[in-house]
Copies of this chain bind each other. A is one copy, B any other.
């Protein structure tokens, strides 16, 4: 039985949030809307385009809200994610990882034929040659040069390699050189704002040198895309990126709540996403067991933050695949009580669920599919 079949009868029923079967992924609509509006207003004010990263939410419903608020389109991490969102009408997508195998390039070209605006990144001459051979000069494929900011994950590793690759793309009739990508993944979660800014300034000077080299060679990049929730203000102030790939701001998670997102004052974004669970065992003193473990909360980001349902200061400890412990030495826990958690790392946690249970206050108002759940290929 799907989440929709199970829970659709609760839509619109006052107080129905508490009657959901758990573990369940719950999305607070008002906070989601406020987060989307706040980032859209920031980007407008800063004069930078917004291309939110859909790898966070994998949802056509949320992508459409972001685009309606002014985003140019979305990013997808993987081709399968882009296919899933395109199936539901999202038609302006940048795929932010190289697509290299012949079977995947065949799918990429088929997707390119189906939607209004598709772009892809590349970081290797062999890949550009394969893309050029597969694409059609009647409908050139937009390709951006991915630049490694020092992660050694993807991207060209020198200014000279960036220039060579840009020239190869520009010279291919079936491709169109559309800019560069520079994603400082390692800097996003530096907790202090000033430390994060210092790291970004140094990296952005490197990016700036590549942009200048390309410009001097007649290959000025139309788009310079990158950034994330952790660095969006710094990136906008530094003024080299033309487009921000922010993702997690829509939901916020424990990792980003641990970071100062503004230079001073409170974060402009609040947690909209929760995993809700129930206490299913309460026999040990000062602790209780809930029905959410590694299959309900991605473990790469550490433990979730407890938002409600346990005494202040209570801590979560993973207890295996299916369970977690809520620990508060003086706490008294009731069998069947609800515990509300802020996800530790939102992206891979969302990928565990088929649906968002959208709430307003304590009432379920809608169920949205996680369209690209599992579509890592």
With an 8 A cutoff between CB atoms, is A116 at the interface? no
Within 8 A of B (CB), among A65-116: 77-78, 80, 83, 97-104, 107
Q: Are A336 and B157 in contact (CB under 8 A)?
A: no
In the complex, per-residue mask of A101-143: 1 if CB is within 8 Å of any chain B CB, else 0: 1111001000000000000000110110000000000000000
Q: Are B300 and A23 in contact (CB under 8 A)?
A: no
Within 8 A of B (CB), among A133-158: 148, 151-157
Contact of A280 among B21, B98, B148, B284 (CB under 8 A): B98
With an 8 A cutoff between CB atoms, is A203 at the interface? no
With an 8 A cutoff between CB atoms, is A298 at the interface? yes
Q: Are B376 and A123 in contact (CB under 8 A)?
A: no
Q: Are B376 and A124 in contact (CB under 8 A)?
A: no
Within 8 A of B (CB), among A342-377: 345, 347-348, 351-354, 373-374, 376-377
With an 8 A cutoff between CB atoms, is A171 at the interface? no
Cα(A347)–Cα(B294), bound, Å:
9
Cα(A226)–Cα(B279), bound, Å:
23
Q: Are B24 and A153 in contact (CB under 8 A)?
A: no
With an 8 A cutoff between CB atoms, is A321 at the interface? yes
A106 CB to closest chain B CB (Å) equals 10
Residues of B within 8 A of A283 (CB): 123-124, 148, 152, 154-157, 161
A276 CB to closest chain B CB (Å) equals 10
Q: Are B100 and A336 in contact (CB under 8 A)?
A: yes
Closest to A373 in B: B374
Per the CB 8 Å criterion, the residue count for chain A at the interface is 72
A13 CB to closest chain B CB (Å) equals 12
Given contacts A124-B282, A281-B123, A283-B124, are A154 and B83 in contact (CB under 8 A)? no
With an 8 A cutoff between CB atoms, is A49 at the interface? no
Cα(A283)–Cα(B98), bound, Å:
12
Residues of B within 8 A of A261 (CB): none
Residues of B within 8 A of A354 (CB): 374
The stretch that binds B, out of A26-34, A205-213, A285-293, is A285-293
Closest to A84 in B: B1
Residues of B within 8 A of A124 (CB): 281-283, 335
With an 8 A cutoff between CB atoms, is A167 at the interface? no
Cα(A21)–Cα(B111), bound, Å:
15
Within 8 A of B (CB), among A277-332: 278-284, 287, 289, 291-292, 294-296, 298-300, 318-323, 325
Contact of A278 among B101, B281, B347 (CB under 8 A): B101
Residues of B within 8 A of A1 (CB): 83
With an 8 A cutoff between CB atoms, is A55 at the interface? yes
Closest to A292 in B: B376
Chain A residues close to B by CB (< 8 Å): 1, 19-24, 55, 77-78, 80, 83, 97-104, 107, 123-124, 126-127, 148, 151-157, 161, 185, 278-284, 287, 289, 291-292, 294-296, 298-300, 318-323, 325, 335-336, 345, 347-348, 351-354, 373-374, 376-377
**A-B contacts, 27 listed (Cβ < 8 Å):** A20-B103, A21-B80, A21-B101, A21-B103, A22-B377, A78-B322, A97-B291, A99-B280, A101-B278, A123-B281, A124-B281, A124-B335, A148-B283, A151-B319, A152-B325, A154-B280, A154-B281, A155-B283, A156-B283, A157-B283, A295-B348, A321-B347, A321-B351, A322-B376, A351-B352, A353-B374, A354-B374
10 A-B pairs with least C-beta separation: A299-B300, A152-B284, A154-B281, A21-B377, A294-B348, A77-B322, A294-B300, A153-B319, A157-B283, A295-B351
